[in-house]
Structure 1
Amino acid sequence: MGVCVSEDFNVLKLAKEISKSAGGVISENMSMNEVQASLRSILKKKRFFIVLDDVWNENRNKWISLKNLLIEGDQESKILVTTRSHKVVSVMAPGPIHDIEGLSENDCLSLFLRCAFNEGEPKHHPKLVDIGKQILKKCKGVPLAVKTLGSLLYSKTEERDWISIRDSEIWKLEQKEDDILPALRLSYNHLPSFLKPCFAYCSLYPKDFRYNNLELIQSWMANGLLQKSNKSTQELEDIGEQYIKELLSRSFFQEVEDIGVLLTFKMHDLLNDLSLYVAQHDYCLIENVNNTNNFEKARHVSILDHNLGVHAMKTFLHKLSNNMRTMKFSCEDWVQFGRSVINIKESSVETCISKFKHLRLLDLRFSRLKVLPSSISTLKHLRYLNLGWNKKIKKLPNSICDLQNLETLILVGCEKLEELPRDIRKMISLRFLWVTTTQMHLRDNGIECMCSIRNLFFLDCHELEYFPKGHQRLTTLHRLGFQNCESLISLPQGTKHLTALENLVIKNCWKLNFIDGDDYPTRLRSLTINELPQLVTLPQWLIGSANTLQFLDISSCQNLEILPEWLPDLSSLRKLQIHFCPKLLSLPEGMGHLTVLRELNIHCCPGLSRNCKKGVGKDWLQIAHIPLVKLTE
């Protein structure tokens, strides 16, 4: 099991993450006693190996509390801790201690050349390689420094570019022992000017946060950080995707996971430190109000101090600048592992509305609101409003429809929301709408007329049966999703007219039955099919996306017995996932024709996994060309 700890050594959070890593089922509201019982049940009399990465805790009592949760395991079990602090070692010892040295000179050079050149290129640029060796001496064997500088110099073949990095004045600045920030700052300084504020914006998220491209792009859009030339025909979301790819290529993000409808990724702790450094006083992440300085002039604030009472919160908000642009009160995964929900009341929201008239982004997810003040309509500059997981809100004021500039509205997790606002058609700029509602029929509110919508997702709409007619006018729709919509009988009629639709997600829609015909999308790039008990084979209409489909996820389809013989015709397929389909035993003939397929994941499909096993399975030769094959029975 492996857990990234970082600076917050929260025992309940860590116990949940360890339990989850071991295959346990956890929930947001589990108590310490429940987690302890689960963890001890999982580990009882078993030998385990746990890695606790990047530990900063110097409180011995916290360490003992965590260790006591693990006593049910076999005595030969091991715990490996990584830390940058010798004081932490003294707290967590006894045990062998290893001071890890940097990479060897040869390993540094190998990693650097792999990041700076394409395969086979270094031999054509011997002078650049020599300069690279001189640069590496300043990286002190730290892989992150080597990787970021190598990525920075990728595709640069002019000697002056390499020499400018080698001779940069940043290396001469006073720094702590083994400090690699100069190497990272060099990479930041060489970012294009339009990417620098986007990177600084990431300082609003805590360490070890898992970003997703959709939320980050919508946040950048809301604050006007995406630059579009007057002649460009690109949509802002597409420009945002380019920004993400650029930061990925420069190693500013890591641990990338492609789950079809979106990408998730993390930022290394040292790069998070760099984002805090370059953000200066314009951005402020507040995890503890009492330990925060110089926040009064910030224009972008993320408040994650869940210990603030209502009065203290109101007092704190009044200290902030009136010129606020971003106000975040939570993060997507902030409450998943034991963090308390921030106690936001209507009075605090009213303070934000009355004080921060230029607000562009307001994030109130996981709050405890019962109503949204009708004065929300006065925030004329608002581009992004997140009310997700406010489980007590029943109605939204119709005045919210006066937000003519609103681009993103997130209402997922609002499980008591009775209906969408009556005049939602008036929100002419809305591009991103994710909804949970108890409505049975989406009628008479004009959602089908919102021709600016690009992302539309329905989550936990348990009563939803039908989609309104006329939705084929949603010609800009790129992503469409239905999850936990158990009453949904069929996909909306006229789906074939959604010519821009690229991503379709259908999860846990028990009554949904695919009917073969021509009324389906034909240029999908990503399709996720999950928990559809009526599905016995893939729908024939998927052939229409044979030249465009890149990601296919088939999960928890208990009655899926056979994959169609035309599956190898999906010539653009790059990633195929098949999980929890126990009746599926084999792959169709011709899988070798999927020449661009890079990843095949088969999980909890015992018969299929055995038949695909390397060297012995009857289907192995068909998939031997795939670079990454993951099989678990």
Structure 2
Amino acid sequence: MADTLLIDLFKQLGSIAFQLAKQEINLLVGVDEEVQKLQDRLGFIKAMLDDAEERHAVKQRTEKLWLEKLQNQYYEMDDILDTWSTARIRAEIPANTSALAVVKKKVCSFVPSPSCCFNLPMRHDVGHMIRELNEKLDKIFQDKATHGIDFDRQPDVVERPTTTSFVDVSQIVGRDINRDDLLKNLLGVGGQEETNSYFVISLVGLGGIGKTTLAQLAYNHPTVKAHFQKRIWICVSDPFDECNVAKAIINEVDPKHGLPDDTKWETLLRKIQDLIKDMKYFLVLDDVWIEDSQKWEPFKVALKNDVHGSRILVTTRKQKVAEMMESAPTIILKELSEEDCWLIFSKIAFSNDEQLEYLEDLGRKLAIKCKGLPLAAKTLGSLMQNKRSREQWNNILDSRMWELEDIEKGLLAPLLLSYYELPSTMRRCFSYCAVFPKDYLFSRDQLVLQWMAQGYIESKANMELEVIAEEYFEKLAMRSFFQDFEKDINNDDKIIGCKMHDIVHDFAQFMIKNESFEIDGDKKLEIDCQSARHLHLKISKEMQCLESIDRAKNLRTLYLLSHEMDYEFEMLLLNSFQHFRCLRTLILDCQIVKLPDAVENLIHLRYFHMSQNVKIEELPETFCNLCNLQTLNIENGHYFKKLPQGMSKLINLRHLIFRDYFSRHNVVFPKGIGKLIGLRTLSIFNISDKDHREGCKLGDLKNLNQLRGTLIINGMENVVNVDEAQNAQLKDKIHLRELELSFVGSRMENDVKVLNALELPPNLQYLLIRGYTGNTIYPNWMMSCTALKVLRLRYCFNLEHLPSLGRLPFLEVLEITQLYKVKKVGDEFLGIEDSKNKKDYDIIFPYLKSLQFRGMNRWEEWIGVGGTGEEEEENDNGIVTNPIIIKILPRLQSLSILGCNKLKSLPDYVLTAPLLKELEISSRNGSSLLEEHYQRDGENWHKISHISNIKLGHVYVQRDDIHIIGSSCYYHSHSTFSDHSSLTKMMLGLAWLSVWWMNEWKWTMMRVRTFVKQTDNKSKVLKWTRFLKTTEELVDDRN
């Protein structure tokens, strides 16, 4: 099969060279067809490489070298095709041609346009490239035959060890808290004992983290043995065979029960049901990989019985398995501490105290290399058992983990199981992460865009590449390849950042072999970079490796990092742009001032990133020749001022990202932006004033209907008329979810007309209006935002009345800041002032959870309504008719009134909101009327005393123990810390404690782990530092 594919490929490449040699006229027609066929054949070579990896067929060094050569030719073929495609695109983008016209041409076939002047020389160039490639492939084919290389043999299987329930409890350390948590769930603490036939508990974590060990620990616990009538241990593993699992369950429950091999599936399920129908059982399903819920459904039915309290414990590397199994609690196993790793390592590595004393200092350093992974500690401990000299230990300490053969054998297997379970596209995405240093904080959004830049994402019909790439990320995260997640609490806890365990990073580096390098310029280079495809380079003045790095001519990723102030970065980049012409990704994190014009040499570039350290103020016009660019990420908004005028030539640009606040006003956007119809991200759009002819107008957004995520529009005051506002056609941006409109200056009448003329995106969930100078916001305009969840009005100084917002059906967060002219808030705010709109039953602000007013320094009255229960309506004769039931703020949880010093009181419908649990009232200077009105123990205190957390003037006067936000604990007070009662008891889950206090007119901050200690497991009380004494003094308060 492989030979046939290669022969076909050689014939195809040979035909191209033949046509080029024959005559010019045939070149004009033939090369297009041959290039198309070459593109098709590229997929076959990729499949060969994937098959060889999946079969684990590379056993001999000759095979490995042959495969590396084929891999190199794969990259070269990809570059040739991309060079051809780039030349075609460039030829179709004259200076006066819009991107829209070019994109329409791109979707046509490969039939050439004879009038294109590039065709003849480009066809010759491509012909020569293909002829050279053909010769190389021919030589590779001959070598394959000469050395008898064969990848068609049966694939090797990565050994999957069968687990048992037996364990030496004395050897287990560091899992006491996890054990107690698991036992609590197994033994029915929490009320589920009486309500469920069984429920599922999942242990999730990285391979080698100790899931099976913890399950064994619980399985053999004396209390567990006494609690359940039957304990069953099943090693499920992969591939999943439901019949074998069912038979294993039957044999565990009734070992004497023999079953024929051909027993039907239905019979097996009925037998399970019969055997367990009268027992409370504990079933462990160890090492589960299968994600298909349909395979689990029959077991769910068969395992149900009339006895409450059974438990099923699942161990898995995949979060999705836990979700599929409908786990009640999911326990995520984290790394062990360095001390626990040392205990595991030392028990295995040292046979006596004398050895321990002699080598402990080196042993502890080795234990740190295990990075909290128990399997690594055991494997490394076993390796060191027979090594007794300090020299041997130092050699191991200085080695990379995967250079140690015994370590490779011990740790590689469990990681390989997870790795080979991934499809080939996701394997490449995972390995790419080795480009970045250890402990690197990955941005989810940027990582998936870099995968796209490398061509790792396979397209699917009717799916955006970004969506597919995000699915890859989610699957890698669910399989425990990532950890330490940062989540956006305002966006359904979406993962926005993560890290990779050091050993997993080592494994990714091991799998990508000689393609990815991290080089510190301060150190002498001892490796050959010629085969490098990805390079992370830390630049220093004393760099000794530039000449060696120049050999890496096939680089596809270059990450330049430096903190040097006066290094000649421009010369370095100029050299890089001459040598590294295959780059797909370029990341600059150094203080470079100017980008050389030669950047246009990087014709394959897809991803360009400038960090905050970069001092470049503008991009050269030659940058616009990078017609393959997909992502332009500019984080140095403090310096950056201007985009090039030829932006319209970047027809493949999908993401134009500005991360810095200063970009809001500094950057000039050229008119060409409006022609980039493929843009998915345009984080900021600055409207130029009428005198700036080359700058963008609001109407330039008209055709950008693929925009997604967030759009910040600055310079709304520069919109001169209603027509321009309507021309933007925001209503067609159906994928936009967040919009910010920023006005500067004072054009009251014009602002009102412009805002009312804007037709907002129909699926908008977040809206911020800043600096609007109009005196009103029309109700109909605001009510068009039917999907809105978050609304912020800031610095709208001329608004005299709050807009009607109460009928926004899904609004959850409302923040109103510095509306200086508002004096009274009444029924118009709720949207019920018009009797014609009243219904028999009405809910106002049905989903609002958080309401904040800030800096409303003229606001005096907040008027209530007739009642939040029944409101009676009188007809013209004074007769009461049609009682109206109105519910206001039924889900409100938090109310903040900050700097509204003249407001006298709050309406009853707010204070009686059934779920209100947070109330904060504070002033800018001194105390506000509202603070005085609701003072603790005052005559109006009873109106708010039912609220569990009340903060008046920066001081909590009432709180529900301590305020927990996520996994962190915050207490804030501007007053003297005289009462520590609210801090005497804290949750054990806190990772750290931050305390700020004033001492001798100097603010001091203490953020510590060591000062926060558990007194004992039973009391669940923490020791904490007494703030007004020394930070060393710990107070044990068990009261």
| TM-score of the aligned structures, taking structure 1 as reference length | 0.61
Q: Which residue of the partner structure matches residue 175 of structure 1?
A: 379
Secondary structure of 1:476's aligned partner: coil
Question: How do residues 166-565 of structure 1 correspond to structure 2 at under 5 angstroms?
Answer: 175-176=379-380, 186-229=417-460, 232-251=461-480, 252-253=482-483, 254-258=485-489, 264-267=496-499, 269-270=501-502, 271-272=504-505, 275-286=508-519, 290=523, 294=527, 296=529, 297-303=531-537, 305=538, 308-309=540-541, 312=544, 314-315=546-547, 317-318=549-550, 321-330=552-561, 343=567, 345-370=569-594, 372-389=595-612, 392-413=615-636, 419-434=642-657, 436=663, 442=669, 445-458=671-684, 467=697, 469-479=699-709, 481-482=711-712, 493-506=727-740, 509-511=743-745, 513=751, 515-517=754-756, 519-529=758-768, 532=771, 534=773, 540=779, 541-547=781-787, 549=788, 552=790, 554=792, 557=795, 565=804
Q: Which residue of the partner structure matches residue 18 of structure 2?
A: none
Is the CA contact 1:579–1:603 (under 8 Å) kept in the aligned structure 2?
no
Is the CA contact 1:582–1:606 (under 8 Å) kept in the aligned structure 2?
no
Is the CA contact 1:408–1:431 (under 8 Å) kept in the aligned structure 2?
yes
Is the CA contact 2:740–2:769 (under 8 Å) kept in the aligned structure 1?
yes
Secondary structure of 2:380's aligned partner: coil
Is the CA contact 1:440–1:466 (under 8 Å) kept in the aligned structure 2?
no
CA pair 526-138 structure 1, distance change in 2 beyond 3 A: same
Is 1:569 aligned to 2:808, yes or no? Answer: yes
Unaligned runs of 5+ in 1: 1-98, 114-118, 143-148
Amino acid at match of 1:138: T
Is the CA contact 2:656–2:683 (under 8 Å) kept in the aligned structure 1?
yes
Cα distance between partner residues in 2 of 1:563 and 1:190: 57
Deviation at 1:225, TM superposition (A): 1.6
**Which of 91, 95, 105 is matched with 2:179 structurally?**
105
CA pair 632-447 structure 1, distance change in 2 beyond 3 A: farther
Is the CA contact 1:484–1:508 (under 8 Å) kept in the aligned structure 2?
yes
Cα distance between partner residues in 2 of 1:245 and 1:619: 42
Q: Which residue of the partner structure matches residue 987 of structure 2?
A: none
Cα distance between partner residues in 2 of 1:602 and 1:282: 53
Is the CA contact 2:288–2:316 (under 8 Å) kept in the aligned structure 1?
no
Is the CA contact 1:208–1:268 (under 8 Å) kept in the aligned structure 2?
yes
Q: Which moved more, 1:104-113 or 1:119-128?
A: 119-128
Cα distance between partner residues in 2 of 1:624 and 1:152: 43
Cα distance between partner residues in 1 of 2:479 and 2:742: 38
Is the CA contact 2:668–2:686 (under 8 Å) kept in the aligned structure 1?
no
Question: How do residues 18-57 of structure 1 correspond to structure 2 at under 5 angstroms?
Answer: none
Relative contact order: is structure 1 or structure 2 higher (C-alpha 8 Å, sep ≥ 6)? 1
Cα distance between partner residues in 2 of 1:459 and 1:290: 44
Deviation at 1:524, TM superposition (A): 3.2
Cα distance between partner residues in 2 of 1:461 and 1:295: 50
Q: Which moved more, 1:451-460 or 1:551-560?
A: 551-560
Deviation at 1:479, TM superposition (A): 4.1
Deviation at 1:233, TM superposition (A): 1.3
CA pair 280-163 structure 1, distance change in 2 beyond 3 A: farther
CA pair 553-301 structure 1, distance change in 2 beyond 3 A: farther
Is the CA contact 1:545–1:570 (under 8 Å) kept in the aligned structure 2?
no
| TM-score of the aligned structures, taking structure 2 as reference length | 0.39
CA pair 126-544 structure 1, distance change in 2 beyond 3 A: closer
Cα distance between partner residues in 1 of 2:681 and 2:422: 30
Deviation at 1:620, TM superposition (A): 4.2
CA pair 380-486 structure 1, distance change in 2 beyond 3 A: same
Is the CA contact 1:602–1:632 (under 8 Å) kept in the aligned structure 2?
no
Which digits, 9 at most, give the CA deviation of each residue in 1:17-45, with x for residues without a partner?
xxxxxxxxxxxxxxxxxxxxxxxxxxxxx
Secondary structure of 1:105's aligned partner: helix
Is the CA contact 2:608–2:631 (under 8 Å) kept in the aligned structure 1?
yes
Deviation at 1:498, TM superposition (A): 3.4
Is the CA contact 2:712–2:739 (under 8 Å) kept in the aligned structure 1?
yes
Deviation at 1:522, TM superposition (A): 2.6
Which digits, 9 at most, give the CA deviation of each residue in 1:226-279, with x for residues without a partner?
1113xx111111212322333444453423125669952222545555544544
Cα distance between partner residues in 2 of 1:481 and 1:361: 25
Cα distance between partner residues in 1 of 2:186 and 2:433: 26
Q: Which moved more, 1:259-268 or 1:416-425?
A: 259-268
Deviation at 1:375, TM superposition (A): 1.9
CA pair 269-488 structure 1, distance change in 2 beyond 3 A: farther
CA pair 288-138 structure 1, distance change in 2 beyond 3 A: farther
Is the CA contact 2:775–2:800 (under 8 Å) kept in the aligned structure 1?
yes
Cα distance between partner residues in 2 of 1:502 and 1:110: 46
Q: Which moved more, 1:581-590 or 1:344-353?
A: 581-590
The higher radius of gyration belongs to 2
Amino acid at match of 1:448: G
Is the CA contact 1:310–1:345 (under 8 Å) kept in the aligned structure 2?
no
Question: How do residues 584-623 of structure 1 correspond to structure 2 at under 5 angstroms?
Answer: 590-593=844-847, 605-606=897-898, 618=911, 620-621=913-914
Cα distance between partner residues in 2 of 1:225 and 1:373: 29
CA pair 191-467 structure 1, distance change in 2 beyond 3 A: same
Which digits, 9 at most, give the CA deviation of each residue in 1:494-531, with x for residues without a partner?
23353344133427654495744352233234425275
Cα distance between partner residues in 2 of 1:235 and 1:272: 29
Deviation at 1:364, TM superposition (A): 1.7
Cα distance between partner residues in 2 of 1:433 and 1:619: 47
Cα distance between partner residues in 1 of 2:569 and 2:757: 50
Which digits, 9 at most, give the CA deviation of each residue in 1:270-295, with x for residues without a partner?
55555445444433344565287657
Amino acid at match of 2:496: T
Is the CA contact 1:457–1:481 (under 8 Å) kept in the aligned structure 2?
yes
Question: How do residues 84-163 of structure 1 correspond to structure 2 at under 5 angstroms?
Answer: 101-108=175-182, 136-138=211-213
Is the CA contact 2:767–2:790 (under 8 Å) kept in the aligned structure 1?
yes
Secondary structure of 1:621's aligned partner: coil
When the two chains are superposed, the root-mean-square deviation of aligned CA atoms in Å is: 5.7
Which digits, 9 at most, give the CA deviation of each residue in 1:327-356, with x for residues without a partner?
1124xxxx9xxx667956111111221111
Secondary structure of 1:103's aligned partner: helix
Secondary structure of 2:645's aligned partner: coil
Unaligned runs of 5+ in 2: 1-172, 188-192, 218-285, 300-312, 318-373, 383-409, 831-842, 850-888, 919-963, 973-1039
